[in-house]
Chains A and B, each alone.
Chain A
C-alpha cells in the first residue's frame, strides 16, 4: 500500500513554461513533506520542504503547495530550465518518527527547448 503516490511517471514541459509535479498521500500522520531531485548516476538532492501546518513554501523558482483536505501537494517550477530535467521524488515524514520518511515512486521531468 503506497502511502505517497506520484501518479505521473513522466512529464515533458517546454523551456520557460511552468512545470507542475503532483503528489498524493493517504496518511494523516505526516508532519513534513519534501521534494528531492535526482540526476542519473547521482544521489537525490534535497530541493524544498513544507511543514504540515503551512500551505505554501517558496524558494526562488520552486514553490510547493500543500492541500491538506485533499491530501495533495504539488511542486511548481517557474520558469522551467534545461537543468531541471531530472527525476523528482515526493517524500513525507511521519510525525514523531526520527526515521520514517516515505518516498513516492518519482516523476521524470524533461524540459524541451
Chain B
C-alpha cells in the first residue's frame, strides 16, 4: 500500500520564524511535489522535484524553498513565515503521468 507521510498535521508558528515541513514517501518515486490548498483556489504547485537534488519552481514559489537530499524525502522551507502563508500544505509523489499520491496535509497557521 502506497504511503506519503507528512511530519505534522497541525503547526502554529509566529511571523518571521523559519518553518520546515517534511514529507516522506515509501514508493521509490522520482517525482515529488509541494502544493498549498486555499479555499476557492484549489491546489497550487509551489515546488516540484524530479530527482535527488533536482528541483523546479511551480506557480507560487515566492517565500519558499525546498530540499531533496534523499529520494524518499522532500522538504518545504518557509524562510521567514508570514501570515499569508497560513494554509493547508500537501505533499505528493508520482509514479505514472496520471497518478499522484498525496500525504494527509499539514495545516499551518502563522500568527
A99 and B58 contacting across the interface, CB-CB below 8 Å: yes
How distant is A72 from chain B, measured CB to nearest CB, in Å?
17
Q: How many residues of B contact A (CB 8 A)?
A: 27
- Contacts A46-B99, A46-B100 given; 8 further ones with Cβ under 8 A? A43-B104, A89-B43, A91-B43, A99-B48, A99-B50, A100-B45, A103-B35, A104-B42
Known: A89-B42, A103-B44, A104-B42. A46 touches B50 (CB 8 A): no
Footprint of A on B, CB under 8 Å? 4, 9, 31, 33, 35, 40-45, 48, 50, 56, 58, 90-92, 97-105
A82 to B101, CA, bound (A): 24
B99 and A49 contacting across the interface, CB-CB below 8 Å: yes
* 10 pairs, A vs B, C-beta closer than 8 Å: A32-B98, A42-B105, A43-B102, A44-B102, A91-B43, A99-B31, A99-B48, A101-B100, A103-B35, A106-B42
Q: For A93, what are the chain B residues with a Cβ–Cβ distance below 8 Å?
A: 97-98
How distant is B105 from chain A, measured CB to nearest CB, in Å?
5
Interface residues on A, range: 20 to 34
A47 to B100, CA, bound (A): 10
Known: A89-B43, A98-B50, A99-B56. A41 touches B104 (CB 8 A): yes
What 0/1 pattern do residues 85 to 107 of A give for CB contact below 8 A with B? 00001010100001111011110
